Structure 1
Amino acid sequence: MDNQAPLAAQANTLAKQGQWQQASDKLALLIAQITGHTVQTIQINRDQYSLNSLNGFTQLDTDEALFFKYHHEEGEEKSIEEYYRAELLRNYGFPVDLPLYACKEPGRQLLLYRKRHTERFADVCRRWEAHPDATTLPKLIKAQQQLDQLTLTKARNSLHRVSVQQVKQEAIHQLFYHRLVDDHHPLGLGGRVAKFYLDKTIKLGQQSLDWSQFSRYRWQINGIHYPFTVAELFSQSAQRLAPQSLADHGAIVAHGDAHNANVWFEDEQTLTLFDPAFAGENIPALLAEIKATFHNIFAHPYWLYEPDIAQEHYQVEVRIDHPTQQIVVQHNWQLTDLRQAFLDSKINNYWRPLIAQLKAQQSLPEHYQQVIQLALFCCPTLVLDLTANGYGQHNQQSSALGWAIAVALGNGGQGPGQWISQLL
């Protein structure tokens, strides 16, 4: 570990190594520096949603109880000047939790909120799926519907034209385009794609393929043939999701990463956003709700965040047909009643009316469906390593299932991505 690195970056490294006490000590020092108060206690959450972040609770010598969150993305030191934009969202009328303390320096970018006695909506939904309850289901659906409707209203009211330079400055591209490119690899095969997948062995079920085979083989999933390979999907993503390609499609004010692990469930009826690390006022309209759409709906239940449970929960069979260069997957994953209701809400209360408005204002590109499909494909494949090679958290069953879901969404038109072709 680099002992000269900023404290939060050191803590993040220590936590990934399982050195929780040492990580807590580093965070305690940083929190004391930011708040001017001594830390009495600190507890780091060890949850499945903390993929690029540390979060937890601390109590100061003033008896003030706080929730803290540190978030890190590659390249942030060069490109993010104002990392957290809670004030922007609040000014535009979003229900957003404002931090009591904030440090925006790279490697120290820590937010401290008043500790709430409410849960993140992701945790509430996760508990429902473990123990479905028909009496609470309508309440969860209603809360999501209300947030989707509010998000649409804010999108409509803030829709505007922007320059390429304005779009390029938005932090949301770190979730997509900047994870696909670098100076050393072909377009779409750089960044996290190179780090996670290039020259690796991809294990799917009981089968294994090297990257050169895996990336150029086509897919048959649950009997449906999908035309684009993984390599083609990454290449197309780098083209369609490039900031300059999105500049003419209309921009909005948005949170940008409003999946339900970044949402409080207030008084068991309303949703409040927090951690707006990627919020902005010039976010491409087609990109703003992608993360929420994928991670609230298609990442559940279990397979992305809890692969060990997914291995017990789903049957996934993989066959490699080398003569036809085809990966054949059969699985029994499907959306739960809760996630299907969330998808219905996202379609009817956000996507369909937004697409209609973009078309009416002549801001809808002909390839809008492909933009949505490719951005959804990027969510699971770029958020963490999907391979089951011992470096990531996935096993061979969850890896096969994850790639199958990602490829189906990226190709669209059929299977889990069929709804995208029905937005107009």
Structure 2
Amino acid sequence: MSDRTLFEIQQLQFRDRARASQLLKEFLNETLPFAIADVTVRPQAVSLNSINGFLTTADGDRQFFKTHVEPQSIIHEYYNSTILAEAGYPVIQPIYSSTEWGKQLLIYDYFSAPSLFDVSREIELGKRYDADRVLAAQQHADDCLWDIYRQTLSWLSAEEHARSPVHQLFFHRLTGGRYAEFYCGKQIAFPGAEFDFERIASWQWRINDRAYSEPLAAVIDRAIARLNPTRADVPAIIGHGDAHNGNVFWDGDRGESGELIYFDPAFAGRHSPFLDLAKPLFHNVFAIWMYFPREIAAELEIRWELQGETLVVEHDFVPSELRIGFLRSKLEHVLKPLLFELRLRGWLDPNWRDDLKLALFCCPFLTMNLADSQKFPPEIALLGLAIAMEMAAVSEPPSRLDTELDRLGIGDNRS
């Protein structure tokens, strides 16, 4: 099978689960050193660029698998679970890993605990009522995360930093083909109209009565410049790199509040802590529309009009109280002590907020293709672009994100 097989299966799983499972079984039997009797692909809302599910070996053992799929990847070495375990992360160690280009996947012993993504959604839908326990588990996990950051914090050369797989989620998506494939020369549907991306990128934005400082095109250029890993030496930590709630199990049977356990370390390594925080900060808080676009569109109020060269957008999307709890836990228990430690050591870049916000921008802009009208209704395409701008650009008055960052009490430069 070709190197694109996993990507094709990832796309197929949402249309024909049985066929996707059969193709993956064939793929695994060609790839693995042991025989597979059965495979069940588990398409989930969180599986934006991945495949996961269960398999049964010819010997009758039941196992869990996860693979990240990115056909335009620049990085060819993934899945460094050992570095996380040695740093003290509560991470499930795979029983088998394949790191061969186009065949990267991890296989684990069967694990029955739910993902924090599923638990959070059930709480939001009123199907469970243990938000306090979940937030307590999150705060404890974030205290432990800061302790790992503190113990592994060291200076890293730009050359070494550039080798970290985490850049596949940010800089390489901007420059390695995904940005061009998604948007360049494409049209994006808004409610009632359709525009060339290049025209949209030239407009100024006003969102919910906040005027933003720059157009989308300038944000993209600034992100390419600031997120380039060869730009400068950086303070770095050992991090998971992609620790959104879909890659975290919640074992509610451990201790008073349960325990959060990491898996799928596709982007684990030594890298900037600001890049490490970006995926959980965005996806755990601001991204529910990305996972459930049609459900969110059905309840969303969003309006737009073009006033000269300014796009004026009004929307009522706000994260749930649970997700704001996730945001504040990460900011208070990890980011705030990190900033104080960096400042104490004389390592704090005055433009740290820029780096964090531009990494956050990449999450709504490049995780999925907002121009894909089969995936995203026009209301959600517009909301996604608006939220991308809210992540990256400075506004007057300050956005929700900047207001939360201001609460940390750490001075910095703003763009």
TM-score by length of 1: 0.90
Which residue in 1 is equivalent to 2:39? 42
Secondary structure of 1:113's partner? strand
Counterpart among 277, 288, 293 of residue 276 in structure 2: 288
The correspondence of residues 96-115 of structure 1 with structure 2, limited to 5 A, is 96-115=91-110
Which residue in 1 is equivalent to 2:76? 80
Q: 2: distance between equivalents of 1:252 and 1:168?
A: 14
Secondary structure of 1:108's partner? coil
Q: 1: distance between equivalents of 2:244 and 2:11?
A: 24
Counterpart among 83, 89, 95 of residue 90 in structure 2: 95
Q: 1: distance between equivalents of 2:348 and 2:172?
A: 24
Secondary structure of 2:380's partner? helix
Q: 2: distance between equivalents of 1:37 and 1:279?
A: 26
Which residue in 2 is equivalent to 1:200? 186
Counterpart among 387, 392, 400 of residue 410 in structure 1: 392
Does the aligned pair in 2 maintain the 1:34–1:102 contact within 8 Å?
no
Q: CA deviation at 1:192?
A: 1.8
Call closer, same or farther: CA 1:212–1:61 in 2, change over 3 Å.
closer
Does the aligned pair in 1 maintain the 2:75–2:168 contact within 8 Å?
no
Which residue in 2 is equivalent to 1:249? 234
Counterpart among 120, 126, 130 of residue 125 in structure 1: 120
Call closer, same or farther: CA 1:177–1:294 in 2, change over 3 Å.
same
Secondary structure of 1:161's partner? strand
Counterpart among 59, 64, 77 of residue 56 in structure 2: 59
How many aligned positions are there?
402
Residue 236 of structure 1 pairs with residue 230 of structure 2: no
Call closer, same or farther: CA 1:329–1:9 in 2, change over 3 Å.
closer
Amino acid at match of 2:136: K
Q: CA deviation at 1:141?
A: 0.4
Counterpart among 68, 71, 74 of residue 71 in structure 1: 68
Q: CA deviation at 1:204?
A: 2.1
Q: CA deviation at 1:377?
A: 0.9
Q: Deviations over 1:12-71 (max 9, x none)?
A: 46447x343343223223434555443232111111111111111111232211111121
Does the aligned pair in 2 maintain the 1:8–1:108 contact within 8 Å?
yes
Q: Deviations over 1:336-355 (max 9, x none)?
A: 11011111111110111111
Which residue in 2 is equivalent to 1:272? 261
Does the aligned pair in 2 maintain the 1:121–1:260 contact within 8 Å?
yes
Residue 401 of structure 1 pairs with residue 383 of structure 2: yes
Which residue in 1 is equivalent to 2:247? 262
Does the aligned pair in 2 maintain the 1:9–1:108 contact within 8 Å?
no
Q: 1: distance between equivalents of 2:12 and 2:316?
A: 38
Q: 2: distance between equivalents of 1:287 and 1:12?
A: 25
Q: 1: distance between equivalents of 2:10 and 2:318?
A: 34
Q: Deviations over 1:357-386 (max 9, x none)?
A: 111111111111111111111111010111
Amino acid at match of 1:274: F
Question: Identity of aligned pairs, percent?
Answer: 31
Q: 1: distance between equivalents of 2:268 and 2:219?
A: 26
Residue 147 of structure 1 pairs with residue 146 of structure 2: no
Call closer, same or farther: CA 1:412–1:345 in 2, change over 3 Å.
farther
Counterpart among 159, 184, 187 of residue 153 in structure 2: 159
Q: Deviations over 1:122-178 (max 9, x none)?
A: 000011111175x51110101111111111111111110111110010000000001
Does the aligned pair in 1 maintain the 2:241–2:267 contact within 8 Å?
yes
Residue 212 of structure 1 pairs with residue 198 of structure 2: yes
Call closer, same or farther: CA 1:229–1:250 in 2, change over 3 Å.
same
Which residue in 1 is equivalent to 2:343? 359
Q: CA deviation at 1:80?
A: 2.1
Call closer, same or farther: CA 1:341–1:4 in 2, change over 3 Å.
closer
Secondary structure of 1:40's partner? strand
Q: 1: distance between equivalents of 2:123 and 2:239?
A: 28
Q: 1: distance between equivalents of 2:123 and 2:291?
A: 16
Q: 1: distance between equivalents of 2:16 and 2:333?
A: 44
Secondary structure of 1:95's partner? coil
Secondary structure of 2:94's partner? coil
Which residue in 2 is equivalent to 1:187? none
Does the aligned pair in 1 maintain the 2:83–2:269 contact within 8 Å?
yes
Secondary structure of 2:23's partner? helix
TM-score by length of 2: 0.92
Secondary structure of 2:266's partner? coil
Note the residue ranges of structure 1 that are not aligned, 5 or more in a row.
Answer: 183-190
